[in-house]
């Protein structure tokens, strides 16, 4: 009997397929995903460029001849974004000479059509090996996207923390992605083959918290019809994520501390404690230092949890990531609802609105707003204007209106000269210091505006 060959393993390899033939996109994506690859597809250079900005990429497979341009046009952008990535050209027989010449400029190799998906997968497995794109986010979750140095600094310790077995405390405002970071710690840790179990400490009634965490035996209390394995047992061999740990009732914190110190639990109604092997990751939006001082959180439990700490910045502190995440969430929702068109680009004015909005709900708010935007996009729209953005997302419109009003606020005791100065400054701000446009908005001539500025 012939022994079947071992299939190639592309687990964790991020692959972008660029081809304007949907059938080729689907066949390659289906085959590579079936072998563990994390595949995204693009039908145009523009769509591929957006994906490069919003998605980790280890391997790019690009058709040489596209309806508009060539796959080779994407090479400089790919090399700049992912200097350690692998770029392959897909060519027809008539374009092999061009492809061979392209290898001199950094293309890894060329693949002749029709492409055998299994042979391609074996080639990628061999070439990629342990090679990564060189970006920190490629080691984390594909949806934990960042480019801003502030976020990179905040997450820089994750690979080292993941290799240890000590508790990790993640602090940050609501909506900053604490659970995603906890999942990233788990999935690049030695415990990644074990379960990742989440407990929202603020969402479970105090009367049920002990049973939820530690479990109970049959008959332990009224309604306990069978044995229940608590979250600690469910997470055995893996990671237990205690979300919103700052909301845990003070009297229950003593029980949790004892479990963390002894590494044993006892079910309600159980005869004796037994060992449990879990790694603890906790998260909170509260300032636990202040809570300790106020007597709302036990100091001994705080120091037991605060061994390795990650502090996540709010979205408004990582502005370089706003458009990156906006494009990612748009693409994700469009895929979910079956919109196959390229992701429309934000006009410069729309980008400015997104960048200047304070995002009080952080990444969660951005994701929700981009979902709403994607659902309401007209068919075949190529650009998202500031006007469409404002009419679709009231929160941004309200902020824009308030900002405009604040910039035009004239104190009641102002003189005529003071008011004139405020109006001129506001017009210049709106027009990015374009004197001609500012003068038109003010209803005066450019020469008059220049004279008034010289008099100021």
**Element at 284 (helix H, strand E):** strand 279-284
Cis peptide before 114 (omega within 30 of 0): yes
Give the tens place of pLDDT for each residue, 103-157. 666 788 888 888 888 888 888 888 776 444 444 555 554 447 787 889 888 988 8
Which residues have a Cβ under 8 Å from the Cβ of 138 and sit 6 or more positions away? 14, 56, 58, 132
Mean pLDDT of 24-51: 89
Average pLDDT, the chain: 83
Q: Is the pLDDT of residue 96 over 60?
A: no
User: Going from the N-terminus, what domains does the chain have, and what CATH number goes with each?
Assistant: 14-134 (3.40.50.2300), 149-313 (3.40.50.300), 316-404 (1.10.8.60), 408-455 (1.10.10.60)
pLDDT tens, residue by residue, 160-208: 898 888 999 999 999 999 998 998 899 888 888 889 999 999 888 888 8
Tell whether pTM > 0.85.
no
pLDDT greater than 60 at residue 68: yes
Query: How far is CA 246 from each of CA 91, 169, 309, 430, rounded to the nearest angstrom?
Result: 57, 11, 15, 44
Please give, one letter per residue, the 3-state secondary structure of 24-50: HHHHHHHHHHHCCCEEEEECCHHHHHH
Q: Is 70 helix (H, G, I), strand (E, B) or coil?
A: strand
Give the separation between CA 452 and CA 33, rounded to whole angstroms. Answer: 65
């Amino acid at each position: 009997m012939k022994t079947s060959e071992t299939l190639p393993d592309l687990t964790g390899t991020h692959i972008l397929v660029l081809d304007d033939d949907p059938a080729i996109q689907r066949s390659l994506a289906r085959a590579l995903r079936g072998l563990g690859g994390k595949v995204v597809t693009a039908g145009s250079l523009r769509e591929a460029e957006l994906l490069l900005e919003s998605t980790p990429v280890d391997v790019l497979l690009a058709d040489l001849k596209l309806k508009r341009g060539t796959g080779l046009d994407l090479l400089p952008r790919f090399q700049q974004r992912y200097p350690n990535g692998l770029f392959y050209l897909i060519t027809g027989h008539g374009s092999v000479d061009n492809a061979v010449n392209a290898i001199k400029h950094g293309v890894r190799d060329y693949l002749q059509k029709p492409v055998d998906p299994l042979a391609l997968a074996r080639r990628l497995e061999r070439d990629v090996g342990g090679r990564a794109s060189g970006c920190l986010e490629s080691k984390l979750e594909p949806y934990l996207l960042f480019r801003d140095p502030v976020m990179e600094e905040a997450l820089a310790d994750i690979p080292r923390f993941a290799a240890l077995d000590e508790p990790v405390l993640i602090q940050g405002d609501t909506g900053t992605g604490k659970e995603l970071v906890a999942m990233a710690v788990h999935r690049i840790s030695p415990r990644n083959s074990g379960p990742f179990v989440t407990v929202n400490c603020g969402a479970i009634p105090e009367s049920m918290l002990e049973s939820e965490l530690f479990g109970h035996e049959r008959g332990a209390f009224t309604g306990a019809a069978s044995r229940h394995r608590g979250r600690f047992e469910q997470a055995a061999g893996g990671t237990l994520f205690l979300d919103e740990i700052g909301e845990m009732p003070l009297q229950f914190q003593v029980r949790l501390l004892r479990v963390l110190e002894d590494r044993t639990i006892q079910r309600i109604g159980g005869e004796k404690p037994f060992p449990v092997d879990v790694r603890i990751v906790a998260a909170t939006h509260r300032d636990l230092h202040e809570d300790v001082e106020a007597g709302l959180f036990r100091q001994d439990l705080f120091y037991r949890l605060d061994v390795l700490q990650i502090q996540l910045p709010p979205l408004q502190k990582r502005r370089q990531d706003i458009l990156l995440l906006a494009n990612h969430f748009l693409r994700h929702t469009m895929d979910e609802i079956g919109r196959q068109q390229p992701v429309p680009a934000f006009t410069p004015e729309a980008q400015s609105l997104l960048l200047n909005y304070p995002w009080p709900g952080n990444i969660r708010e951005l994701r929700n707003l981009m979902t709403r935007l994607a659902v309401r996009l007209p068919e075949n729209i190529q650009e998202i204007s500031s006007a469409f953005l404002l009419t679709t997302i009231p929160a941004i419109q309200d902020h824009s209106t308030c900002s405009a009003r604040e910039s035009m606020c004239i104190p009641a005791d102002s003189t005529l000269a003071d008011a004139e100065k405020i109006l001129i400054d506001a017009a210049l701000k709106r027009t990015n210091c374009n004197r001609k446009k500012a003068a038109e908005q003010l209803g005066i001539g450019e020469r008059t505006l220049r004279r008034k500025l010289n008099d100021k």
